[in-house]
Structure formats: C-alpha cells, structure tokens
Structure 1
C-alpha cells in the first residue's frame, strides 16, 4: 500500500502508522477498528480492504503528530484484533519527499482459464517497466476470469507493448487503459455487426439463397484480411445477389443470431447510461431490426436496392466502408455529445481499422491478425459481454442490475 506524501505545516515530514488486520471476515470489523483509532488525533491517509473467500485483509494508513503515544494506538488496535480473533500488524515510518509517479493505469487481464504463470509473466513485465502494482482485484469469475491491476509509474505506450507480447505468450487478453475520472465519464460504444454483434456474415446467408455461397465467402475473406478494397469487394458480392427475391431478406433476418453475451452487453451499458451504436458494412434491412430489438441509439449501414420485389445487385446511398465507419463514429460522438477520447470501437475486420484507431479505445474482438496488431487491445474469448470488464464493470454489478430489473 503506497503512502501519499504529507507534511506538517512547519515542513517536517509526518510520522505514519500502518495498521493491518487479517482474518475471517464478519460485519463490523472496519467500524470497530476506526472507532478505536478515533480516540487519537490521527488523520486517515489511505484505506484498503480486500475479501477473498471470506478472509479479510484491512489496511489503514494514518498520519499523526509526534506527541501521539504510538504504544497506546497499538494497544487499542490490538484489543480490537483480539476481540475479533484476527491477526494484526503495525509498522511506523515517516513520509519522505518522493518523486511523483505518473498517473494510474488500469491493466485488465482476461483468461479462460487464467493460470498463475500468466499473472507471473504480467507482473514481471510491469516490474521490468519500473512500475508498481498498487492494487489487484477480481472483476469476474465467469464466463471468463478477469483480474484488474492498478499500476502506477509506467509509460502507457511502452507498458501496452510489453504486455501485448506477454499476452500472446501466455494466451490471455490484456488491456492497458488510463485511470482517473475519464473512465467514469459518459462513453459511446460503437460496434461492428457481422461476426461481432452477430455470428456470421449476412451477405453469406443471402448468397446461399442465390447459389453463390462459395464465391461470396471467398471475396469476403479476402476483404476481411485487407487484401481487397472493401467497397469494390462489396459491390462485387452484392452484384452476385441480383434477381434474388426480396422476401429472402426476411428469412435471413430470422436466421441471424446474436453473439454470445451480446444482449447482456447492450442491456448493461444502456442501464449505465452509455450511448450504444452499430456501424456495418452490411445492410440496413438487417441492422434496423437489431436497433429496434436491442434499443440501440445510433446506426449506419449500407442499403440493398430493391426494385419490383427483387434485389438489383446494387446499393443505394453512401457506402459504409473502412473510412465510412470512422466518419460514422465521429458523427455519432457529436450527436451524443461525447468527445472522441470517450468513445470505444469494437470490430474484427480490416474495414474496422480506421474506426478502431479513431476511437479513444479500440478493441479487436476475435479479429484477424492485422486488426489485433493495430487495436489498443484484443479480446479473443467467445463472450461479447467480457468487454464490460475492460470498462471496469464487474460481474457482480451486472448481476445486481439484472436482479433489480427482475423485481
């Protein structure tokens, strides 16, 4: 537990006392300890409390004038520990002028499963960067295990690069984000649709009805890898749908499946007053239904041209391609009154790259290698709601909100 710099008015460094209680958790431990400390002229500098499987660790750092009887403080705290059947430690010191650390970073680790070796490797990289782990806590134990570390004293870009390499080696997902008030401010989430919010690619489902599955899938895969210009490849694929009965769109719409955890993700973010948007290289004939079903705030997608009940093989209106997705993100942010620094973009393909790089946080979700390398962080577990943990939202908070809505 770090000690914040503090000094008496005359410039002398303050004396500090660190009281640590360890033992079985029960109601009233914190209040009992503070009630005992309240009998002395102490100032609270820092408090940390952690409970793991019913075992409590409570640390209280206080500063006090030289005239305070440390022995009396110790005796009072020891009496509380004895009454509660807990272990107690006390250490003393004096605050010294120390260089200010750079701001706190949140390091989020996702694993399924999460092995000790992964945490050892990550902690080692943090130490090698000359940084300090100030706090560790668990955000979730399912569908993945998520551990969050508060880290100080690190350069964000350098630490992100080091931990990205460790994540690949340990086969876990690691995100590095700046801490502070920005994380709690209003945010806009902008998400790709095909193979992200939903499973599969809509155009491939349409192609099945047109007898063009293999050709369309081949073009789609090349475009997602960044080997083909997206707009050209899209028009080429749509042209293969010419003559298809428009009623097929309704059949495909009913076949569309949300990604695992998608409904939980959107529902939870909406409860927390986040703005949520989708942007797709797919088609409004599908995305409009998702907007209505999930209560999405903003959307942008391409539109299939239909004449006399048939697909013409052409598109109408502006094309939502790689550049168009970034433009849509910026437009959504303006309309929502959210600065770009507070936007989060999520996608999996090369046509998401501009959007991911324009956002304050770009997340590659089960993405192609070129996208994982360019994004701020990558999530490779098949649970879309795991993204909530990157935003600092715990599994217990999700469940509490679900329970509240059920009442």
Structure 2
C-alpha cells in the first residue's frame, strides 16, 4: 500500500509545531537581523526611470548633489554630511568594532551615532558624532559632559512626553541649542509619536519600525511589534506635513537599509537620510553569514585595526548608487527623489506605502 502524502497545513506548519514543542520545554526562539516571517520590503518598490517624458542626467558631465543637512529646525549648527547615510553603533558592540565604525564614518565624510559610554579614542576617530542617551533623570548632565555634533534621545519603558519635553528644555538651557536634538521613534503609533516629538521641540526623528537587529531578542519583539519601514516613512512624512514642519524637522530611516537602492527608496518615500547598523557591521567583517548572530556584548570575530576603510568604501558605494538612480530619473539632487518616481510591484507594498501599484 502506497503511503499517502498530505500537504502541509498553512496554519499548523512544521515550523509552528516545532516552536510549540520548544516552548513546552521552557525554550523560546530568539531572532536577530530580521523578523522570522516575510514582510513587504524595499524590494517590492521600483523606480520609474527616465524615458520619452523625462531625460536622465549625463553621469560624466552633470553632477548629482548628495550633501545632506539634518536638524536645522532650531539648531544654529545643523549636522552637515556629504552623503545621506550615517552609521549606528550599539553599546553592545565590542570597543574595536565601534572604533572601526567611527573610523569608517569619518573616512566617508559621514557621521556615527554612538550609544552608551564613549571613550576618548572613539571621540577622536569620529569626526561627526551623534551621541545617544536614554530619557531618564540626570541625562542632561550626561549629554552636556560630552561634545557631539548632534544628540539623540532614546525612549525607555515608561518615558512620558513631559519627561522628554523637560530633558530637551534642560539641554537647550544648558547651551546645547547649537546642535540638533533628535528623538528616536519606535515606529508603532507613528503619527502620534511624530506629533509628540515635534511638539516638544525635536529637530529630527529617527524612525525604526519593524526592524532587524544586530543583537538577539525574543522573536515576539520583532515579528509582532511596530510597522514595516515602508509603511512608517510615509506616515511620518504626512504627520510632519500636518504639523507644517515638513522640510524643517529631519526624518531619518533607521531600519532595513542594505544598499544604495534601499536608501534611494527611503529618500523617495520621504526620509532625509538613512542610518545603517547591520549593513555596516557586515561591511566591517563582523558578520559573514546570516547564521552568525551575536549574543549581546559578545563579538563574533576579531576586528583588525584599519578595517574601518571597508565601511567607508561601502558608504561611498551606496552614495554612488543613490546618485546614479537619481540621475537616471533626471534629478540633480538625491533629495529631489519623490513618491512619483516609484511604483509598487505588489498590492501589499502599494497599500502600505501609498505608492501607486504597477499596472494601474
């Protein structure tokens, strides 16, 4: 008698059953680098290159501007970069990795966003630094103690709008008004987060959304919390428009950027810049495969001195790709990329991003 072969249930998949068995043994899955389920990404958006109705720019004769200014709403010295890309470095990374990321950002005339304690060598290598601090009691003294080209305030569990407002007020009173103050937005109730941050005087918003991570976390925090970045950026942009600060308050996409094409699409959706974390570590050689997920605070491999040049080359490559795509659309400035330059390949991506579906 032949064995019967049944198709897998779409609900009770082998992966779901294995997960239940793991939980029944007191275990749970950890996730790093990406959610464990498929979601709409930048890959489902394409550019509508020039044709009969729009002419491309000549690459050798006509330059494309990539200079990016962030945080000019109230700051007298906004953060000015030669590229719309900057690097992020978690406090969980080993010191050598942070040093080389700082070196790479400087070689690319970009910036690095450093979380946690910053030592003298990191500050020396980082020509432009965004200093990240949590919103908590005593944070104003911590921020004021370190010179940086911008500050980023990270929300913690229980952070209130009043606490955020009070910290920004204290920083401005302490003389930090000269540099931009960014606020990290989780990317869940995007419109409410943006309006609250704008209301307390933020110069820029760092939008995360449903994200990948360089360190492992319980899968529920990645798979079931927040919205995908292709949905978050347009919603944040519209919230800025409603508050009449679009173009004044900078919007930074801090999730899921892997290459210049992703960065270009983020700019077209409404971001002013992108932050790269995972991609920078891969370029550095910290990770060589998707299976190499680091435990928090424990590096996967030894980082050799001078490898920061790899990060610089990666950023330069991304910048060239952004400029190339912008020129193919007839744009002389990467910040001129817009919604109308995009088309969505799937209905999901179209509904989430608001980009017109191809074929309509």
User: Which bin holds the TM-score, normalised by the shorter protein?
Assistant: under 0.3
Q: Which has the larger radius of gyration?
A: 1
Question: With CA pairs under 8 Å and 6+ residues apart, which has the higher RCO, 1 or 2?
Answer: 2
Using the size of structure 2 for normalisation, the TM-score is 0.25
Higher helix share: 1
